[in-house]
Structure 1
């Protein structure tokens, strides 16, 4: 109903009433027609007010019905995942962050490994003249990654968890990279080994890294303790996933991290684990030392060193950790040193590059070497050198190009006399991070 019309009628009635009193007091000439007109106007005004009240009541009832219907829909269709502002929440109330990347890798292999997968195979590249795999173009999207981070607030400390997968399993099958929960100083689940950490490896395009470094994720129980803002220790019991050994006890690892100053970080690590066959058992051990140095705001140097005896599961590309006789007695263990060193330069906000070098050398243990069935498949030493550039035209996109050259020297020559195999490749990658 038009409120302006109602206001106009009321004002007119008030004026009429005000004027009628003097007329009634001082003159009796008011006609019956004028009185009837005033009555008609009052009656019309009452009708208008009744219609306006009925319309308001109808509108209110409609609004209540809409609100009740909306509430019912929201109650019956509450999703397991909902958005609150800019945060996602699970049905149980945990805050959720979804991340990952779409990654396309390509490699032109001048010389290298025979396996279909394009990533590093330096320890198994064919010796020269022996079924070499040359002039091959390989491509894959198997390193595409999906991840979820969870956080639940409690009366004490927050509970955090992570689940991250890629497609680098057998035949590009989905595999678990990280799956763990973290409460206070404790972590339970699978993540980077406490001994073989990738933090000190120079940057590469190759998803597995190069010789001298380690890319190892293990199921573990981990405890961290902070001595000061710049020093902490991490202790862990890990399943090393060593197929050559029957695990009876977990591997024990320890890592001491120290921030020397604003630009230098150091990490000292130790590992001890039992190697067991059906009839015998021996201890394997290792130590590691890593360093990161921010020379300037745009220049970083990384270095990592390992010395390991009796184990091949933690540090990548090494020979088998031990050899056995016919009775499955452990008769000798492999021992090796490895190092990787690299410098990364940030040329601009969009462009950076890395030069890197990695080397691994096995001890000349005659008992170990003589027990090998095929000495051409075990390596006296390995090395690789690489150079890459990464360019990000816009923030979520990263493009990379890399050249790598490396060699392996076997303990014994092949029938044609060759004792050296070569890895010679150009790698490229395109990533969309989300």
Structure 2
């Protein structure tokens, strides 16, 4: 080896050694934890008034707005997937000041468009959570402050009590202390065109959404109340349109859990003007355009109730009910708008160890339009999950 080449290799090795030492020094103060679960689902679905095509998200988990209405009954559909499987990286760093810095990055494979069932069933990972916590501050993407994940029951379905649940993940800045939390969160407006028949996603907001909550914890369980204030906005100056409109939206969400020995009851009640995408996986939009191209909010109310019974250390069951009721102005939204949805489910879960769970679940769901048309869904779901 020539001298210049030797010098270059020596310099490279020296750099790598220095980098390794620096990394090791950083990791000495940082602990990394890897967690998540692997979950396989098999679903057998029957619809009374239509069907869902291949690749439709409603075949992977329950989405209230996708229950078919007004079609012809078809054969039973069988689907199997691993989309709910997820992995999570959590870091905790001890700072020189004695404070702690936490980081979270979590992925799963739900709702991504890539992958098919023809050959490989390959699915693209998607980011669920990505945030840092420092003292009382959280910055990044996670569950909305307006939401309460602790009120969600243990179901094989991805959400469970979807019709009556606030369910949103987004980027925010949040401050929490003594049970109180307040946050500025990423805005987005979903709008129904005048007369109905579609959805406009208007990314025209000039202000972040404001959410705040208070949680009271007691020996019997907990109670949480949350409020939301936001702007719904839509601007369209293209193709001769002259639309520049906005309106205010607000809502309240009350939830909690009541312990009954080893059993518990979980509940949620939410109501507001223009909740839209925050409620029931955006089963209805936040506002509708009137004949003057002005936004009018759509009122909605959601409720969910779940009872969890522990048969013994290995067996347990959950019985749930959830519903969404929408107050549409039919002269603006049209008669094909969703008026209400509801679902109930019951399951039986078996865990031979805390890491492993097998289960079966039955779901019955209904969707009704303003014109009186109604569609039903019946589904059996079987799952196996390994948590780590």
Q: CA deviation at 1:78?
A: 4.3
C-alpha separation in 2, matches of 1:397 and 1:131: 40
- CA distance 1:401–1:81, shift in 2 (3 Å): farther
Q: CA deviation at 1:196?
A: 2.0
C-alpha separation in 2, matches of 1:304 and 1:327: 36
- The 5 A counterparts of 1:281-292 are 281-292=246-257
Select the residue among 16, 27, 38 that pairs with 1:102: 38
C-alpha separation in 1, matches of 2:291 and 2:385: 49
Q: How high is the TM-score relative to the length of structure 2?
A: 0.81
- CA distance 1:284–1:383, shift in 2 (3 Å): same
Structure scoring higher RCO (CA < 8 A, sep ≥ 6) equals 2
Q: Deviations over 1:196-244 (max 9, x none)?
A: 2222122221113321113311100000111xxxxx1000001144453
Q: In the alignment, what sits opposite 2:305?
A: 341
Residue 163 (1) aligns with residue 105 (2): yes
Q: In the alignment, what sits opposite 1:137?
A: 78
- CA distance 1:214–1:105, shift in 2 (3 Å): farther
Select the residue among 317, 320, 325 that pairs with 1:361: 325
C-alpha separation in 2, matches of 1:319 and 1:266: 27
C-alpha separation in 2, matches of 1:158 and 1:212: 37
Q: In the alignment, what sits opposite 2:5?
A: none
Residue 190 (1) aligns with residue 141 (2): yes
Q: In the alignment, what sits opposite 1:432?
A: 386
Q: How high is the TM-score relative to the length of structure 1?
A: 0.73
Q: In the alignment, what sits opposite 2:367?
A: 408
- The 5 A counterparts of 1:308-327 are 308-317=272-281, 318-325=283-290
SS of the aligned residue for 1:199 comes to helix
Residue 207 (1) aligns with residue 149 (2): no
Question: Structure 1, unaligned stretches of length 5 or more?
Answer: 1-71, 83-88, 227-231, 414-418
- CA distance 1:282–1:241, shift in 2 (3 Å): closer
- CA distance 1:394–1:132, shift in 2 (3 Å): same
Q: Which sits farther off after the overlay, 200-209 or 279-288?
A: 200-209
Contact 2:342 2:365 in 1 (8 A): yes
- The 5 A counterparts of 1:7-18 are none
Q: Deviations over 1:50-86 (max 9, x none)?
A: xxxxxxxxxxxxxxxxxxxxxx9x958949987xxxx
Residue 180 (1) aligns with residue 141 (2): no
Q: Deviations over 1:27-58 (max 9, x none)?
A: xxxxxxxxxxxxxxxxxxxxxxxxxxxxxxxx
Q: In the alignment, what sits opposite 1:249?
A: 207
Q: Which sits farther off after the overlay, 315-324 or 354-363?
A: 315-324
Structure in which a larger fraction of residues adopt helix: 1
Contact 2:64 2:280 in 1 (8 A): no
Q: In the alignment, what sits opposite 2:175?
A: 223
Task: Name the Cα RMSD after superposition.
Answer: 2.3
Select the residue among 344, 350, 374 that pairs with 1:420: 374
**Count of aligned pairs:** 337
